[in-house]
Structure 1
Amino acid sequence: MASRANHRVFRGGVLLCAAALLCSSAGTGRAAEDAAPNLAASSFPVASEVRLAGDAKQTRFVLDLDRPIQFRAFALADPYRVVVDIPQVNFQLKAGAGTAGRGLIKAFRYGLVMPGGSRLVFDLTGPAKIANSYVLAAANGQPPRLVLELEQVDRTTFVQSLGAESRPELKPAISDTVAAIVPVKPNAADKPATPTDTRPVVVIDPGHGGLDNGTQAGGTNEKELVLGFGLALRDRLEKSGKYRVVMTRTDDTFIPLTDRVKVARTHAAALFVSIHADALPRREGDAQGATIYTLSDKASDAEAERLAETENKADAIGGVNLTEEPTEVADILIELAQRETRTFSNRFARLLMGEMKTTVRMHKHPLKSAGFKVLKAPDVPSVLVELGYVSNKGDLELLVSENWRNRTAGAMSQAIDTFLAKRLATAGAAN
């Protein structure tokens, strides 16, 4: 008996330590549900046109603006990239801008990375240095322009150029740049539930956003599909009045994976549901139907491994990965805390499959597992739902259907009710 009691005390201490370790890091992070300031798009600088010139030795990038802006540019290695952080910009570039490169620039992406801050990320063909970067004022009938000039260098020169000052922390730099432009007001949803509100917290995480479009097919972006579905599910759950529902994003904003996890932990969530839509490359054939993923160190199959690897690259798409890897000791503590959580996650996944299969076309292997970063909150049951394949014509027709979305949201809502029934009973008794 004494040995068993000691074991319970040790296990409780381990869980508290793991929670304390992660909470200490979460305290420095931005709550990912920051709502963009309620300002008209016209209040932001407008980027209207972009041009590339040069060759494999020297390449110039020019962005036309309607007013001068501040910026910060730096390079990153492995893969070779250049990142330019700017205040929030209303991008009005032609469709397909950035998909084709020139010279040292293989391709580039752009979009919102946080309220008040946008980013340009250039994928390079090889090591290159920023030879010059500046903003030109309007003159001779030309608008203000942001100019970036790149020059080819060897890897040794490139690596030597990556001093600490070239890789500053993103958040302080963005804050310093845009603070005088637009103050970001805290949102009530960023605060943890008050002690008087004992309803379970459900976090809905629409994948991708901002400069991360996710999968694309037929002119449709995954980030738009899953945001629409996430908002529909939120409305369904909120209408019941049973839950506090928190969204990791409610607009087209890029949210790092680690921030999505922190939202769930900050709010002591009872459940975390990440919403996505998959796509298969043409060479890999066709697939259809919804799939539900849970966290595992070893992928259940090759497709699950491919998807996890793709999704885990989302932070790199943002240009710089701000994740601080835990120490070896923290890894051990977190793993202990995750064991029980994974059991609950698997239980919810099975419940969700049971509800969805009555109304939704499911994948031939609907339950899978892999090492998704976004599912790694050690004390929050978490699943990632792939609603279907945008690469499949039939699935895509369903994904854009409001009727299908409502039926699927209803099935998910029912599974959440069943899973959290005990928590709901406890909350009811407390009230």
Structure 2
Amino acid sequence: TGPARIANSSVLDAANGQPPRLVLELEEVDEATFARAIGTDNRPMLKPSLADSSPPAALAAASPNPLAVRPPPTTPAGAPAAPNAPADTRPVVVIDPGHGGIDYGTQGGEIPEKNLVLAFGQALRDRLERAGKFRVVMTRDDDTFIPLGDRVRIAQKQGAALFVSIHADALPRGEGDAQGATIYTLSDKASDVEAERLAEAENRADLIGGVNLTEEPADVADILIDLARRETRTFSNRFARVLMNDMKTAVHMHKRPLKSAGFRVLKAPDVPSVLVELGYVSNKGDMGNLVSEAWRSRTADAMARAIDVFLTKRVANAGAERPEKPAPARAKP
């Protein structure tokens, strides 16, 4: 959105089924520095317009229900408000479509997970924004790779009241079949072997994206888990139950719909967070749902209702807990 320069560049070797990648690290600079760097001090700066950019490509056209990935809104999330505009005090809901960019996520057919969850995240965003009760922020609104830590920081920077990460799962070949949506919360110990497997797979996303995690101390994950406040975990678990009750009226749920594991993306100590696996791309029925606009709309409606119920009650409770201002003392006659 403004002038920048290349601060560093490197080439990563092919890994995890992905080709070699050229990595460019950009840093923001002022216009004068940018102009000097390219030798155009006297040339007027041209500022990019979102309207001039090409919209993202549609999802696989071969799908019977192709999902069109919509371009981002003309006003980016987090843009400064107009002068003298009243502050937006609505609770912030952060929607986090998993994966993106070179991280395709799970692939069970022609449409990769990153596209399926982005389309659903956009549908949920639109549903919440129509109600007008919450300010919705997307961690990504296009095919961009976002490191796991940055997704958490977006929620914290926005002062989010709720963080909802959207994914789709798949069972490895030869390990049977599974079906239905599952809701995950953070815990030190995985609730079962499958939850542990999924958390390990999702937590490797940064390795696929080329983020160097080796510089972090080995105990960082343990420290982050220890910092997770008891109150935040309580709210996360409470929302997970509310979400399950609303979703099961609209969609098929996994036989064990509530699980927990050490997902890095859920580790904001001050933001109630859940990770929703919409279904299994390895299951034909679930995959058919994931590409169905009717299913997506119905599921987004159910999730929006749960968010509304949870946050409305939490805001009301927070207001009730505020101490009343003492009445001014009256002068004695």
TM over 0.5: yes
Whole-Å separation in 1 of the counterparts to 2:16 and 2:134 = 46
Correspondent of 1:315 among 191, 199, 206: 206
In the alignment, does 2:62 pair up with 1:174?
no
Counterparts in 2 of 1:287-366, with a 5 A limit?
287-321=178-212, 325=216, 335-366=226-257
Aligned length: 278
Q: Whole-Å Cα distance in 2 between the matches of residues 255 and 109 of structure 1?
A: 18
1:382 aligns with 2:273: yes
C-alpha change, 1:297 and 1:242, in structure 2 (3 Å) is same
TM-score (norm 2): 0.73
Say which SS state the counterpart of residue 284 (structure 1) adopts: coil
Could you tell me which residue of structure 1 aligns to residue 9 of structure 2? 72
Contact between 2:96 and 2:139, CA under 8 Å: does it hold in 1?
yes
Aligned residue type for 1:72: S
Cα deviation, residue 313, structure 1: 0.2
Q: Residues 113-124 of structure 1 correspond to what in structure 2 (within 5 A)? A: 119-120=21-22
Contact 1:278 1:389 in 2 (8 A): yes
Which residue of the partner structure matches residue 370 of structure 1?
261
Distance 1:221 1:293 in 2: 21
TM-score of the two chains, using structure 1 as the length reference:
0.57
8 Å Cα contact 1:198-1:427 kept in structure 2: no
Q: Where does structure 1 lack aligned partners over 5 or more consecutive residues?
A: 1-35, 38-68, 76-81, 84-104, 111-118, 121-169
Report the alpha carbon displacement of residue 185 of structure 1 after superposing the two structures with TM: 8.7
Structure 2 SS opposite 1:420: helix
* Counterpart contact for 1:248–1:263, Cα < 8 Å: yes
Deviation of the 1:176 alpha carbon: 8.2
Which whole-Å deviations, capped at 9, do the CAs of 1:14-69 have from their partners, x for residues lacking one?
A: xxxxxxxxxxxxxxxxxxxxxx89xxxxxxxxxxxxxxxxxxxxxxxxxxxxxxx9
1:413 aligns with 2:304: yes
- For the 8 Å contact 1:298–1:371, the answer to whether it is kept is yes
For 1:152-172, what per-residue CA distance to the aligned partner results, in whole angstroms no more than 9, with x for missing partners? xxxxxxxxxxxxxxxxxx77x
1:252 is paired with a residue of what secondary structure? coil
Q: Which residue of 1 aligns with 2:78?
A: 190
Correspondence 1:221-300 to 2 at 5 A: 221-300=112-191
1:188 offset after TM fit, Å? 4.7
The aligned counterpart of 1:6 is none
CA distance in 2, matches of 1:280, 1:204: 25
Cα distance, 1:368 vs structure 2:
0.2
Q: Please, which runs of 5 or more residues in structure 2 have no aligned partner?
A: 39-45, 51-74, 321-333
Distance 1:232 1:267 in 2: 21
Query: 1:198 corresponds to which letter in structure 2?
Result: T
CA contact 2:94–2:163 (8 Å) conserved in 1: yes
SS in 1 for 2:19: strand
The question of whether the paired residues in 2 share the 8 Å contact of 1:214 and 1:222 is answered with yes
Residue 109 (str. 1) matches residue 19 (str. 2):
yes
1:331, distance to aligned residue in structure 2 (A): 6.1
In the alignment, which residue of structure 1 is the partner of 2:328? none
Residues 72 and 395 of structure 1: CA distance in aligned 2, closer, same or farther (over 3 Å): same
Segment drifting more, 188-197 vs 212-221? 188-197
Question: Is the Cα contact below 8 Å between 1:242 and 1:424 reproduced in 2?
Answer: no
User: Which AA in structure 1 matches 2:26?
Assistant: I
CA–CA distance in 2 between the matches of 1:389 and 1:329? 31
Cα deviation, residue 191, structure 1: 5.5
Equivalent position SS for 1:297:
coil
Larger RCO, structure (CA 8 Å, separation 6 or more)? 2
